[in-house]
Amino acid sequence: MSARPAPLWLFADQLGPHIHSSDKNIDRDIVLIESAAALHRRAGHRQKAHLLLSGMRHLADELGDRARYVRGVGYRDVLQELPGPVAVHEPTSRAAHDFVHRLHEEGLVSEILPNPSFALSRDEFAQWAGEHSTFRMEAFYRRQRTRFDVLMDGDQPAGGTWNYDHENREPPPKQRTLGVDDPWWPEEDAIDDAVRADLDSMDVPWSGVDGPRLFAVTADEAGHALRTFIDHRLATFGPYEDAIMADDWTMSHSLLSVPLNLSLLDPLDVVHAAEQAAREDQVSLASAEGFIRQILGWREYVWHLYWHFESDYVTNNRLDATAPLPEWFRDLDADAVTARCLSDALSGVRNRGWVHHIPRLMVLGSHALQRGYDPRELTAWFTANFVDGYEWVMPVNVVGMSQHADGGLMATKPYTSGGAYINKMSNHCGDCEFDPKKRLGDDACPFTAGYWSFTHKHQDRLARNNRTRRQVSNMNRLNDLEAVLEQERERERF
């Protein structure tokens, strides 16, 4: 008779059946540790703490006698009390990675299994990356499509093209909401009630406010959320994925980042569901491709580059941005903000720890870039305040994509725009006290004026880049530039 395998210790972001009930793990008991020290250390959005605890407790409940759920101060203290060492899957942050390796040396962890939450293994990425000196997502994404045979007809992309971005950039329609079916919403239960009561009693400085649970925390819930998205919402995902609507915070987005990042869903299952919908003509190829690009492309790319870049990638600050985050931004004080687009994004973060991709990039990120906020502080802000925020997802998204602080390793140019583009892609400006067309005066849009002051500050760098050279010549044609710069230096009202 073979010996019983070591129990498997699961982190809070490793909760899916493809992990705890994989062939390798099905005979293992499961250990889940609720660490008070970790909760205090990573005090972020209140609703994020709720999702993590709710997810772990629901899994313990579901697994019954197979699971041992322990509440303790620190992970090590709890592991020391167990009868023997545990196996663990590679965690998702460098700090946790180093920690489990130390536990391995100490004998508290017997085996470190590969990370189970992404389609491509780290070894395979390393082989691919070895051939590249700069990184462009498109090359990686095409490789992923081929490697996993997704939306492929033989060795050619289905439909004859890899990329449908040109069909996926519609401005918002005229009506106030997109008018698609609602996403799947969870129903809270007694476990959520207990989590809420426990969080209330903890002396932790959470950010944001409490609110109803909005995201899936069990595999069953995640399956419903995925199915609802594929059947009712994916068709409109593509065309409007770059738009913002003031009265429709979900639009056609999937709301799957939380269950994906808790590893409740296998990313390939998600991708296959979208592919099947396109193959069966339920949705256009453009919508399915646009969505698959997010999961098989961006999500995997961001994960692998987190490990590929050295740990000091997060200290990159090539635009010398050193401004501290203002108090109203740090405190998610949306009511202190006049700019509709910015206030709406901040209130979304405060009220639910989530806004979709475009407010993250085109509003919050662009504002921070224009105002020169310290990228490291900004990275910590995103990690703490978003319910889907984890260490691994931030460096590339914030330091690279949104702040260009890596000098262009990730993106060919800084991502920022004036109010005209926000006006085109959102319906915020009509209700705003600022005027997107104005760069000077009391009602000058902070994004329009901020765009020119950003261009002025970085003109040497921008003039050397083919993609931004015109921006500098346009700036040089402004007859009121000095006044705009003076105004922005003094700006207090956003």
Ligand X SMILES: Cc1cc2nc3c(=O)[nH]c(=O)nc-3n(C[C@H](O)[C@H](O)[C@H](O)COP(=O)(O)OP(=O)(O)OC[C@H]3O[C@@H](n4cnc5c(N)ncnc54)[C@H](O)[C@@H]3O)c2cc1C
Among 44, 348, 359, 436, binds ligand SF4 (CB under 6 A): 436
Look at the alpha carbons of 369, 373, 374, 375 in this order and tell me if their dihedral is positive or negative.
negative
Q: Smaller CB distance to ligand X: residue 382 or 454?
A: 382
Among 86, 109, 368, 432, binds ligand SF4 (CB under 6 A): 432
- 355 closest CA partner among 227, 422, 217, 365: 365
422 binds, among ligand SF4, ligand X, none (CB under 5 to 8 A by kind): ligand SF4
Q: Smaller CB distance to ligand X: residue 370 or 397?
A: 397
By the rule CB under 6 A, 434 interacts with ligand SF4: yes
Q: How far apart are the first and last CA of the chain?
A: 70
Query: Site residues for ligand X, window 280-299 (CB under 6 A)?
Result: 294-295, 298-299
By the rule CB under 6 A, 353 interacts with ligand SF4: no
The nearest distance, CB 290 to ligand X, in angstroms, is 9
Contact 32, 68 (CB under 8 A): yes
Nearest-angstrom CA–CA distance, 329 and 79: 39
Q: Smaller CB distance to ligand SF4: residue 108 or 342?
A: 342
Q: What is the DSSP string of 144-176?
A: HHHHTT-SEETTEEGGG-S--GGGS-PPPPSSS
Nearest-angstrom CA–CA distance, 451 and 75: 47
Q: Smaller CB distance to ligand X: residue 302 or 444?
A: 302
Q: Total residues at the site for ligand SF4 (CB under 6 A)?
A: 14
Query: Could you tell me which residues come within 8 angstroms of residue 210 by beta carbon, excluding any fewer than 6 positions away?
Result: 46, 47, 50, 196, 199
The nearest distance, CB 422 to ligand SF4, in angstroms, is 4
Among 6, 10, 151, 341, binds ligand SF4 (CB under 6 A): 341
Among 28, 89, 145, 253, binds ligand X (CB under 6 A): 253
Name the one residue in this structure whose structure tokens are 């760098």.
Answer: 461
Among 240, 381, 382, 452, binds ligand X (CB under 6 A): 382
By the rule CB under 6 A, 386 interacts with ligand X: yes
Q: Smaller CB distance to ligand X: residue 382 or 447?
A: 382
The interface region with ligand SF4, picked from 141-149, 202-210, 367-375, 415-423 by CB under 6 A, is: 415-423
By the rule CB under 6 A, 429 interacts with ligand SF4: yes
Nearest-angstrom CA–CA distance, 277 and 229: 11
Radius of gyration of the chain (CA): 23
87 binds, among ligand SF4, ligand X, none (CB under 5 to 8 A by kind): none
Tokens encoding 214: 């909005």
**Beta 30-35 vs 8-10: how paired, if at all?**
parallel
Nearest-angstrom CA–CA distance, 226 and 289: 16
3-state secondary structure (DSSP) of residue 103: helix
434 binds, among ligand X, ligand SF4, none (CB under 5 to 8 A by kind): ligand SF4
Tokens encoding 493: 């009202």
Nearest-angstrom CA–CA distance, 215 and 194: 17
The interface region with ligand X, picked from 173-181, 220-228, 255-263, 430-438 by CB under 6 A, is: 255-263
By the rule CB under 6 A, 260 interacts with ligand X: yes
Q: Smaller CB distance to ligand SF4: residue 354 or 434?
A: 434
By the rule CB under 6 A, 393 interacts with ligand X: yes
Strands (DSSP E) contained in 200-301 are none
Phi, psi (deg, nearest 5) at residue 160: 85, 0
> How far, rounded to the nearest angstrom, does the alpha carbon of residue 358 sit from its chain's CA centroid?
11
Tokens encoding 158: 């289905």
Bridge partner list, 152: 157
Among 360, 367, 371, 404, binds ligand X (CB under 6 A): 360
260 binds, among ligand X, ligand SF4, none (CB under 5 to 8 A by kind): ligand X
By the rule CB under 6 A, 339 interacts with ligand SF4: yes
Write out the residues near ligand SF4 by the rule CB under 6 A. 339-341, 419, 422-423, 428-429, 432, 434, 436, 445-447
Write out the residues near ligand X by the rule CB under 6 A. 253-257, 260-261, 294-295, 298-299, 302, 356-357, 360-361, 365, 382, 386, 388-389, 393, 397-398, 401-402
